Every structure is written in C-alpha cells, then in structure tokens.
Amino acid sequence: MSKIRSFKGGMHPEYDGKELTDSCCVIEAPLLEKYYVVLAENAGRPPKPCVAAGDKVRKYQLIAEADGFVSADLHAPTSGTVEGIVDVPGPMGGSVQAVVIVSDGNDHGSAPFDCWEKWQEKSGAELLERIRKAGIVGMGGAAFPSHVKLAVPPGKKVDTLIINGAECEPYLTADHRLMAEYPQKVITGAAVMGKLLDVSNIIIGVEDNKPDAVAALEMASAGTSVRVQLLEVRYPQGAEKQLIYAVTGRSVPPGGLPFDAGCVVQNAGSAAAVSDAVLQGIPLIERIVTVSGEAVRSPGNFKLRIGTPVIEAVKLAGGITEEPGKLILGGPMMGFAQRSFDVPIAKNTSGILLLPPKAALNFSSSPCIRCGRCVEVCPMKLMPCLLCASIEGGRFDLALKDHVMDCLECGACAYVCPSRRPLVQQFRRAKSELRKKR
C-alpha cells in the first residue's frame, strides 16, 4: 500500500456525520407506484422525451434522447404507462419537466444491449458508444455525461484514469458502501474505461476513513492493472483538480481540464454503471443514495430508482424524528437546499439530508476581521476575503482578475470564517454575472 496522499489547503469539519450511515449496508427499495424522471438532470442540454401520455413502456426502455453531444439518454426505471410530462421541483433548484411513469407492478423489461462478457475484445469506440447509449453521467456531482469526459480531444494525451472514491462530503456514504459491497463492479468499470482510453495507469483514490471499502477494492483488484491510492481525510479531496494533484502530483492549469494534466476522472458510481452497461447490457436506472441527518429516524443507504420522490426515500428511512430545518440533495457543503419533499432523485443525487432546525440556523454576518483563515483553506489558492470585498463593491472586473471563475464553490472558506461572511453566495453571484457578460 502506497503512502497516504493529499492536496494543499482544505479542512476537515469537526463533525462529519458519516458514522450515522457508514456501516449501513445497501437496502434495495421496493417498487413504487410512480416515478418522476426529470428531463434536466445532466450538465448539458436536457434530453428530448420520445414517449407521450398513454404510451406503454418496459423497464430500461429509452424515454428521452440526448439532445446533442453534451447530453445523456434517459431510460424507464420500471414497466408501466406514461401518465404525462409534468413540471416538478428540480433536484438542482427551480422547476423542471419530468416523465411520469405509473408502474404496472410487473417490473418487466430485458436488457436492451448485448452482454459483453469478453469486453476486452471490443474496440475503444464500441465501449464509448455503449457508455453513451447507457446514459451514464458523473454520479458524484454535476452529472456531466461520461462519454464526453472519456472522449479525449485531438492533440491531448491522456496516460492516467482516476476513479474518484474520495467521497469527502460530510454525511455521504453512498460511494463508501458501493465500494465495500460491489467492489468488483467498480474495478471492472475502471478496467473498461482504462481499455477505452488505452491507459495502463488506473488508480482509485479513496479517503482513509473507509477501511472496509479499501480492503474490498484491494481484493477485487488483485491481478488487474487497477490500484488503490489512500487519500488523507480532507475536504474537498474529491474535487477533480485536488484529486488529480493528490494522486499524480500534477496541476491542472487555471481554466483547464483534466485532459491538460494527462488525466480523466470518473466517479466510483459511474464506474459501477459502466460495468453494468457492458457486462449486463443495462442502462443507468438506479443508484445508491445516503438518506441521513439528525432529523431522520433510521438513516441508511438505499438503492433507489431514478425518479423516486424524496418523500418515498424518507419513508424508507423510517420517516422523521422532528420537523427538519433543512432538506438538502447532495452533501451539506455543495448540495442543493430543497423546498419540497416531492423533488425526485436524479442520476447525480448522492444523498438526501434532513438537518434539524438547530443545525440550519441562519447566522448574521459581521465585517471581515482579516484573520486569513479563508486564504489558508482555499484549495484553489484564491483570496476569498479580497474576492468578497471586490464583489460587494461591485468590482466584478477585479474579481475576474483575481480568478473568481476558478472557485469550486466548495464552501471551505465560508465554513472556517469566524465572521460568517456570505462568501460562496457572493462568488456564485459574481460568476453568474460574469458568465452573462460573456
């Protein structure tokens, strides 16, 4: 086992809430009466529906087609009838459209693609096309289509594939349980993508707080070209640029992509989905989700179908112990606060958090005392205090010059700020304004 590696900056919260669920084995959710498959869950263009109200669908059937290269197909999570296409609360905010499928209770459907047990005999182009057709996206965050991240642009040379098993966000343990209970899928998916990219350097980065997952991955990877790299428990270890630095010592240039450091990064969940798509011939219709927080009666990890309303997931976890002060999809640092329990889960929903009112208090901010803590923790080596002052003074030009566009919105600076400055809100505002001007 190689020595533990890390990046510069960052921090670790005093309490990370992982012990609520890190030993909870994955529980498969029973079939629901209705699923709401949202049409805006990938980072690119929303897919176009190819079914209409009244259509009968089978499990795994294509229900919405990718609209262009940076977009991903969507498939039916079960068999039944399309009730219609309606507006629902979006997992990443606002209102989005969703295909509503009323289950027929049979869950009928066969794998739409051939099972490739001898995937090693397939070409890189064939494997890439299978990943595209299976609608696989980055399952750890932005839901960027995996086939796009795996298509190396002309002129770029990639020699390393990194599988992101860091799961550094507090409370989340979905990837932890995936790697501990389904290590073979993660290793096979990694090997498939390694073959596709024609790289032999395939590394799974895992934070050092998941010993059972590390042991399972070590065992499953024995005799393969995939190796496990231990990472320090430090937030945001799983941010792409920080992970690349920790694993390879290479820096992605400002404004650059992992390709610029010779790397491709894929989430552990996406790797498992690639294994399913190639070996079993099935598209991505379900994922593991951590349902946790102090307001949940029985926190746990659940295998949920895409389109499951949050209210159903909370019922599986025993309901609530008190009226939550905050509902978040994702982790508490980078997740999206929600107003409604009707919001459905998407391919990138790693967690459902219900925090009690005392954990969701709104603190008033006070003036900056120039303590420099935000500068110490910023993993992008930015000056959050100065950026915030520029933005508050309306000087977006100065914020741009000081690289606000490189901000990951990781929230580490806001977490340590004793004056509780609204740093991330200001950076999001400035980035949005600057994008509009472009």
Q: What residue ranges bind ligand SF4 (CB under 6 A)?
A: 368-374, 377-380, 382, 384-385, 407-413, 417-419, 421, 423-424, 427
Type of residue found at 298: S
The smaller minimum CB distance to ligand SF4, of residues 281 and 331, is found at 331
- Tell me how far CA of residue 391 lies from CA of 42, 77, 131, 368, in angstroms: 30, 44, 41, 14
Shortest separation between residue 431's beta carbon and ligand SF4, angstroms: 10
- The least CB distance from residue 112 to ligand SF4, in Å, is 41
Q: How far is the CB of 425 from ligand SF4 (least distance, A)?
A: 10
218: tokens are 């070590």
| Other CB atoms within 10 Å distance of the CB of residue 255 | 9
Contact 318, 107 (CB under 8 A): no
For ligand SF4, give the closer residue by CB, 78 or 419.
Answer: 419
Which is closer to ligand SF4, CB of 182 or CB of 415? Answer: 415
By DSSP bridging, strand 26-28 and strand 300-305 are: parallel
Q: How far is the CB of 402 from ligand SF4 (least distance, A)?
A: 10
| Residues belonging to the chain | 438
Nearer to ligand SF4, 254 or 372 (CB): 372
Q: How far is the CB of 339 from ligand SF4 (least distance, A)?
A: 24
For ligand SF4, the closer of residues 193 and 417 by Cβ is: 417
User: What is the widest separation between alpha-carbon atoms in the chain?
Assistant: 62
Q: How far is the CB of 371 from ligand SF4 (least distance, A)?
A: 4
Asked if residue 172 lies in contact with residue 196, where contact means CB atoms within 8 angstroms, the answer is no
Q: Which residues of 19-58 are buried (b: 16+ CB within 10 A; e: fewer)?
A: ebbbebebbebebbebbbbbbbbbbbebbebebeeebebb
What minimum distance in Å lies between the beta carbon of 9 and ligand SF4? Answer: 7
Start-end of H helices in 304-422: 310-316, 373-377, 384-392, 396-401, 412-416
In what helix (H) or strand (E) does residue 66 lie, and over which residues does it extend?
A: none
Three-class SS state of 283: coil
For residues 159 and 232, which CB has a smaller minimum distance to ligand SF4 in the complex?
232
| Residue 231 or 417 having the CB closest to ligand SF4 | 417
The total of other beta-carbon atoms located within 10 Å of residue 432's CB is 9
Minimal distance in Å, beta carbon 256 to ligand SF4?
16
Q: How far is the CB of 271 from ligand SF4 (least distance, A)?
A: 26
* Nearer residue to ligand SF4 within complex by CB, 180 or 380: 380
Q: Which residues pair with 162 in a beta bridge?
A: 203, 265
Q: In the β-sheet with 48-49, what is the strand arrangement from edge to edge?
A: 48-49, 62-65, 74-75
CA separation for the pair 335, 350 (Å, rounded): 9
Q: From the CB of 83, what's the least distance to ligand SF4, in Å?
A: 41
CB of 226 or CB of 382, closer to ligand SF4: 382
**Phi and psi torsions of 220, nearest 5°:** -70, -25
Compare residues 112 and 422 and give the one whose CB is closer to ligand SF4: 422
